[in-house]
Amino acid sequence: MLKPEYEPLNKAELAKVLRIGSHERSAFRDALTELEATGELNRGKKSRYRLASRHKRARIESFTGTILFSRDRKRQSAFFIPDDPQAHAAFRAMDRPRIFVPGREAGTALDGDKVEVQLVKDEPPAWHRNSTRAKGNREVEGRAELHARVIHVVERTRTRIVGRFYSKGSRATVVPEDGRLPTSFRLTSFLPEANQGDIVVAEFSGWDSPHNMPTAAMIEILGRETDPGVDILAVIHRYGLPLEFPDSVLREAEAIPETISEEEIARREDWREREVFTIDPEDARDFDDAICVTERPEGTWELAVHIADVSHYVRAGSALDREARKRGNSVYLADRVLPMLPEKLSNGVCSLKPGVERLTHAAILEFDAKGKFTAARFVSAVIRSHRRYSYEEAYRFMKLDEAAVAALPDEKERGLTLHLKRAWRLAAMLREKRFANGALDLEFAEVKVVLNEEGRAVGVKRSEYDESHQLIEEFMLAANEAVAYETKNAPAPSLYRVHEDPDLGKLQEFAEQARAFGHSVGDVSHRPELQKLLKNVRGKLEEHSLKIALLKSLRRAEYSPESIGHYGLSKVNYTHFTSPIRRYADLIVHRALRRILSRRQAPTAPEAADWTPSVPEMAAIAEHISKTERVAAEAEVDTQRLKMIEYLEHLCDSDEETVFEATVFDVMPVGALAELDQLMVKGMIRKDDLPPREEYFFDRGRNEFRSRAGSAPLAVGTRLKVRLYRVNKSRGFIDFVPLSENSRPGKKPRIQEE
Distances (CA, A) of 320 to 345, 461, 694: 10, 35, 63
pLDDT at position 608: 65
pLDDT at position 406: 94
pLDDT at position 96: 64
Residue 574 inside a domain? The answer is: yes
Preceding peptide of 192 cis, ω within 30°: no
Contact 282, 390 (CB under 8 A): yes
Q: For residue 714, count CB atoms less than 10 angstroms from its CB and return exposed for 0-12, middle for 13-18, buried for 19 or more.
A: buried
> How far, in Å, CA of 409 to CA of 414, rounded?
8
> How far, in Å, CA of 525 to CA of 440, rounded?
13
Q: Fill in the DSSP letter of residue 526.
A: S
Question: Mind listing the pLDDT tens digit for each residue in 538-566?
Answer: 988 899 889 999 998 999 999 999 999 99
Residue 648 inside a domain? The answer is: no
Q: Quick one: 415 and 536 in the same domain? A: no
Question: Mind listing the pLDDT tens digit for each residue in 172-197?
Answer: 999 998 888 999 999 999 999 999 99
Question: Mind listing the pLDDT tens digit for each residue in 666-698?
Answer: 999 999 999 999 899 999 999 999 988 889 999
Domain boundary among 134, 155, 176: 155
Q: Quick one: 453 and 439 in the same domain? A: yes
49: pLDDT confidence band, cut at 50, 70 and 90? Answer: confident
Phi, psi (degrees; rounded to nearest 5) at 395: -65, -40
Q: Quick one: 145 and 199 in the same domain? A: no
Contact 665, 716 (CB under 8 A): yes
Report the percentage of the chain scoring pLDDT > 70. 90
Which candidate, 228, 210, 242, 253, places its Cα nearest to that of 110? 210
Q: Fill in the DSSP letter of residue 556.
A: P
Q: Quick one: 68 and 148 in the same domain? A: yes
The mean pLDDT of 18-40, rounded to a whole number, is: 82
CATH of the domain at 196: 2.40.50
pLDDT at position 314: 97
> How far, in Å, CA of 328 to CA of 643, rounded?
25
Residue 142 inside a domain? The answer is: yes
Sign of the Cα pseudo-torsion (136, 140, 143, 149, in order): negative
Q: What is the average pLDDT value for the chain, to the nearest integer? A: 88
Q: Indicate the range of 75-79, 337-341, 477-481 predicted with least confidence.
A: 75-79
Work out whether strand 185-189 and strand 215-223 pair parallel, antiparallel, or are unpaired.
parallel
Q: Which residue has the higher pLDDT, 508 or 125?
A: 508
492: pLDDT confidence band, cut at 50, 70 and 90? Answer: confident
Q: Quick one: 563 and 664 in the same domain? A: no
Residues forming beta bridges with residue 664, ordered by sequence position: 674
How many whole angstroms from its chain centre is CA 449? 18
Work out whether strand 145-155 and strand 138-141 pair parallel, antiparallel, or are unpaired.
unpaired
Q: Fill in the DSSP letter of residue 47.
A: G
Work out whether strand 696-699 and strand 704-707 pair parallel, antiparallel, or are unpaired.
antiparallel
Sign of the Cα pseudo-torsion (571, 573, 575, 578, in order): negative
Which candidate, 147, 154, 79, places its Cα nearest to that of 119? 147
Q: How many domains does the chain have?
A: 6
Contact 451, 643 (CB under 8 A): yes
Cα dihedral 259, 265, 266, 268 in deg (nearest 10): 160
pLDDT at position 651: 83
Q: Which domain, by its residues, includes 687? A: 655-752
Q: Quick one: 437 and 339 in the same domain? A: yes
Q: Quick one: 482 and 335 in the same domain? A: yes
Distances (CA, A) of 594 to 587, 633, 685: 11, 30, 55
Q: Quick one: 19 and 122 in the same domain? A: no
**Percentage helix, strand, coil for the chain under 3-state DSSP, each rounded to 5:** 30, 30, 40
How many whole angstroms from its chain centre is CA 723? 28
Residue 136 has pLDDT above 50, yes or no: no
Residue 237 inside a domain? The answer is: no
pLDDT at position 178: 85
138: pLDDT confidence band, cut at 50, 70 and 90? Answer: very low
Q: Quick one: 336 and 461 in the same domain? A: yes
CATH of the domain at 660: 2.40.50.140
Q: Quick one: 70 and 186 in the same domain? A: no
The mean pLDDT of 211-221, rounded to a whole number, is: 93
Residue 5 inside a domain? The answer is: no
Contact 240, 159 (CB under 8 A): yes
Contact 645, 727 (CB under 8 A): yes
Residue 303 inside a domain? The answer is: yes
CA terminus-to-terminus distance, the chain: 39
